Amino acid sequence: MISVDQVTAAGRRYFLEHATIDMDELALALSVSRATLYRVINSRDRLLGEVLWQLAERTMTRARQTRTRDGIEGVLDVIRIFSDGLLDSKPFRQFLSNEPEAATRVLFTPAGGIHRRAVKLVNELFAEAAPDEGPWIVGDHDNLAYLVVRIVESLYFAELLAGMPPDRDLAERTTRALILQACTPRRSRVMKAVDAASYLAWTSVPALLCDGRLSLASFGGL
């Protein structure tokens, strides 16, 4: 019997070569039946999620290893290198272009399991980049990490929904503003309202896409 790790490793190799995963061809390469393959990995979406997560985690690890600064600049350096690594990956870009609905399910909804793990990684980045002196993030790190991940995801949404090139500078400026605000101990009611509005803005599109009555085609007129 093959293991999940063996299936994921084979799926990763196939994805890097073909920018997709064909379950029939993968079963053939592993010398197992299609039924056995699905019994081990459950679904194609789950396998895509595991493969994309491994690629993202490796890219993030490399980005974290290159960090030479602490504080906001260190966090932004890592996020920039990570985002560039994914956006410049030919298989990843081809997958987004050729299978937008599958990419949306896997990358941006709980079914793919990627978003939750990405938030955990960003939280770890906040901890390791904390400066020895000076202001740093106060309050809820989880919500801030959630928003930062959504901002990075918006770079992929730009292509998925509108075919627009990702605005990396805008994403970085927005991330910087969020972290700067989170380093301020006291916030007014107005700023808390802005926080709530930002949270809603960055989570509404994925929620809509999870609605079975909607598809990417629904956004074609935007």
- Listed range (1-15, 91-105, 106-120, 202-216) with the worst mean pLDDT: 202-216
> What mean pLDDT do residues 5-27 have?
97
> What mean pLDDT do residues 181-207 have?
58
What integer pLDDT is reported at residue 127 of this predicted model?
Answer: 93
How far is residue 98's CA from residue 96's CA, in Å, rounded to a whole number?
6
Rounded to a whole number, what is the distance in angstroms from the first to the last CA of the chain?
48
Residue 74 has pLDDT above 80, yes or no: yes
Query: Which tokens belong to 206?
Result: 């994925």
> What mean pLDDT do residues 175-199 have?
69
Neighbours of 96 (CB within 10 A): 21
Range picked from 16-30, 82-96, 112-126 for highest mean pLDDT: 16-30
Residue 219 has pLDDT above 80, yes or no: no
- Listed range (1-5, 178-182, 198-202) with the worst mean pLDDT: 198-202
> What mean pLDDT do residues 74-94 have?
93
> What mean pLDDT do residues 208-218 have?
44
Task: Give, in degrees to the nearest 5, the angle at Cα 115 between 159 and 18.
Answer: 55
What integer pLDDT is reported at residue 97 of this predicted model?
Answer: 86
How far is residue 118's CA from residue 164's CA, in Å, rounded to a whole number?
24
Whole-structure pTM value = 0.79
Query: In whole numbers, what is the pLDDT of the chain averaged over residues?
Result: 84
What integer pLDDT is reported at residue 44 of this predicted model?
Answer: 95
